[in-house]
Amino acid sequence: MTPTTSHHEEAPGRVERVGIVGCGLMGSGIAELAALAGYDVRVAVSSPRSLVTGRDRVFTSLDRAVRAERIGADERDAALSRISFTTDLIDLADRHLAIETIAEDKTAKVELFALLDKTLEDPAAILASNTSSLSITAMASATGRPGQVLGMHFFSPAQRIPLVELIPSLHTDDAVLARAEEFVTVGLGKQAVRSVDRTGFVVNALLVPYLLASVRMVESGVATAENIDRGMVLGCSHPLGPLKLADLIGLDVLHSVARALYDEFKEPLYAPPPLLTRMVEGGVLGKKSGRGFYRYA
């Protein structure tokens, strides 16, 4: 099944119009991915400034993909024609699927899901969260359609990483999970893994303790960031060392996920090391801030 923008009669329950809430690195990446796959994409942001920066981020990424010869100029232009931007959430009213990509703040996400529930007109519309650590059940419980809420966790950069985690809550209908999986695998061409609704899901429950252990090694002077990364790349055939990966993810994101894991499980291996906390407090957030465990141009 290939999504299309032609004026044919819509199949019941079929996802054709996608809404994205937020246009940071994840939101812009998912918007680009869906538009390239042929979906009608509308991105809702919180301010005119966010609209400009988000739109520029999408345009720049697509231009970069053309220069790298991953897509043609005609594909870029077609994708851009399918993406629109708004500062008013009501403009997502006609969407079949809304994907939330705002910051990892449980209160803000729960409030947003309550608003999306009132905004989306299609009674079969799916509400998805790109959270990497927070409770899907809590978000679902804020809506009048908890059976249609699930987690849809993309990995950065969403355009390139082939995996998406699908996380049903205690309430998610099986048919909704199947439709979401079809969108991810058939529509977007990704691979999907399912997880129960627990903090960290599958990937971060394994990845975060590993990344935190590498931070603790730097903190205690066992080895430099460069030597730790070199050891894991050359000794374990990892494509990227843990500290470069932490910088790429964002040290603030890593800190937030670690705190959520520790709050839920109270296991010491999930506790953010003091060095990570101080770096986040100081605005040293990794590649996006120009400095983390490495410096970036």
Contact between 41 and 82 under an 8 Å Cβ cutoff? The reply is yes
Marked catalytic residue, from 153, 171, 214, 256: 153
Instruction: Give the closest residue to 28 by CA, choosing from 92, 77, 94, 101.
Output: 101
Marked catalytic residue, from 165, 169, 171, 214: 165
Marked catalytic residue, from 50, 132, 169, 214: 132
Give, for 210, the enclosing helix (H) or strand (E). helix 203-219
Adjacent-strand bridge partners of 168: 150
Q: Name the DSSP class of 60.
A: H
User: Is 8 a residue of the active site?
Assistant: no
d(CA 70, CA 59): 15
Marked catalytic residue, from 129, 130, 204, 214: 204
User: Is 111 a residue of the active site?
Assistant: no
d(CA 270, CA 259): 7
User: Is 153 a residue of the active site?
Assistant: yes
User: Is 130 a residue of the active site?
Assistant: no
Backbone angles phi, psi at 194, to 5 degrees: -100, 150
Owner of token pair 């030597």: 227
The three-point CA angle 136-163-250 to 5° equals 75
Which amino acids are annotated catalytic?
132, 153, 165, 204
